[in-house]
């Protein structure tokens, strides 16, 4: 295995899918390569966590 360069679906930047991450994905049984760079993944996660449900109280 070697590091792989992928293109982010959201921002179009290239990012590195490292050997270690590839091994992690394999271990978890993920068939797909990541579609987004770490930055976009992070911001999506932050958005999900916000939820918006209790926002207005
Ligand atoms: Zn991105």
Residues 26-52 have pLDDT tens digits of 999 999 999 999 999 999 989 887 665
Say which DSSP state 1 is in: -
* pLDDT higher than 80, residue 18: yes
The residue ranking higher by pLDDT, 13 or 53, is 13
Query: What's the chain's average pLDDT?
Result: 89
Of 42 and 1, the structure prediction assigns the larger pLDDT to 42
Q: What is residue 52's predicted lDDT score, i.e. its pLDDT?
A: 59
Tell me, in angstroms, the distance from the centre of ligand 1 to residue 22's CA: 18
In a domain, 22, yes or no: yes
Q: What is the 3-state secondary structure (H, E, C) of 4-54?
A: EEEECCCCCCEEEECHHHHHHHHHHCCCCCCCCCHHHHHHHHHHHHHCCCC
Please report whether residue 9 resides in a domain: yes
- Determine, yes or no, domain membership for 55: no
Share of the chain above pLDDT 90, in %: 77
Structural domain including 28 reads 4-50
Residues with CB under 5 A from ligand 1 (ion): 8, 10-11, 37, 40
> What distance in angstroms lies between residue 57's CA and the mean position of ligand 1's atoms?
33
CA of 41 to the centre of ligand 1 (A): 7
Using the structure block, give the residue that is written with the tokens 């899918």: 17
Asked if residue 12 belongs to a domain, the reply is yes
Number of domains making up the chain: 1
State the residue for tokens 């068939």: 31
């Amino acid at each position: 295995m070697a590091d792989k360069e992928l293109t982010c679906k959201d921002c179009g930047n290239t990012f590195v899918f490292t050997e270690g991450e590839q091994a992690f994905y394999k271990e978890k049984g993920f068939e797909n390569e990541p579609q987004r760079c770490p930055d976009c993944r992070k911001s999506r996660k932050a958005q999900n966590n916000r939820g918006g449900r209790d926002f207005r109280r």
